[in-house]
């Protein structure tokens, strides 16, 4: 389905620059480099500060992000890598488990853009990683930035603690509202 365009949201605006950590598995180095280039360009366009770390493989990306979310000071994370189908079921394990790990952290409120490519062949990966073509690295950075924007928006809101003030508080057996036990 190459060549089909899709709608993309405008990048969010920030009062203070967000801090992004790009976690990349550079197993296919040229693919990873293109993903990083796209992510960095998108982050720069939004005014974000970016750090990049490498991990051995796609399965280590969720672990590195979880560690950084606990121990470092980042607003969001960009997961980048590439898994190309091979002859064994290892592909399915890596794709499913890396995605599941990222999704579970996202459901806990960690702002993550998932740019781990899961493709059938190298050519598909090259098109998706290329910043001048599908730019999936840039898309993953944009996703993280949008989640950071939502997180900042909702962090300013207070819901209280779940209690509503009563007009008159009555203790069981109190008929006149005096609250005398």
Catalytic residue list: 90
- The closest alpha carbon to 112, from 156, 155, 63, belongs to 63
Burial 123-133, CB ≥16 within 10 A → b, else e: ebbbebbbbee
Distance, in Å, from the CA atom of 110 to the CA atom of 114, rounded to the nearest integer, reads 12
Contact 82, 52 (CB under 8 A): no
- The closest alpha carbon to 13, from 48, 50, 49, 51, belongs to 48
Phi-psi region of 13 (alpha: psi -120 to 50; beta: other; left: phi over 0): beta
Distance, in Å, from the CA atom of 107 to the CA atom of 69, rounded to the nearest integer, reads 13
Residues 6 or more apart from 179 whose CB is under 8 A from it?
Answer: 169, 170, 171
């Amino acid at each position: 389905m190459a060549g089909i365009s899709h709608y993309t949201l405008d990048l969010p605006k920030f009062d203070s620059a967000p801090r992004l950590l790009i976690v990349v598995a550079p197993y296919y180095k040229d693919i990873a480099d293109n993903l990083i280039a796209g992510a960095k360009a998108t982050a720069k366009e939004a005014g974000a500060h970016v750090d990049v770390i490498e991990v051995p493989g796609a399965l280590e990306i969720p672990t590195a992000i979880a560690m950084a979310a606990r121990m470092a000071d980042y607003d969001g994370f960009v997961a980048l890598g590439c898994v190309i189908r091979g002859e064994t079921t290892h592909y399915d394990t890596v794709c499913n488990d890396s995605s599941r790990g990222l999704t579970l952290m996202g459901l806990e409120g960690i702002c993550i853009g998932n740019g781990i490519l899961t493709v059938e062949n190298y050519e598909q990966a090259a098109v998706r990683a290329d910043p001048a073509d599908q730019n999936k690295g840039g898309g993953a950075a944009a996703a993280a930035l949008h989640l950071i924007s939502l997180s900042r928006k909702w962090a300013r809101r207070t819901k209280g603690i779940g209690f509503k003030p009563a007009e008159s508080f009555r203790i069981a057996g109190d008929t006149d509202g005096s609250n005398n036990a």
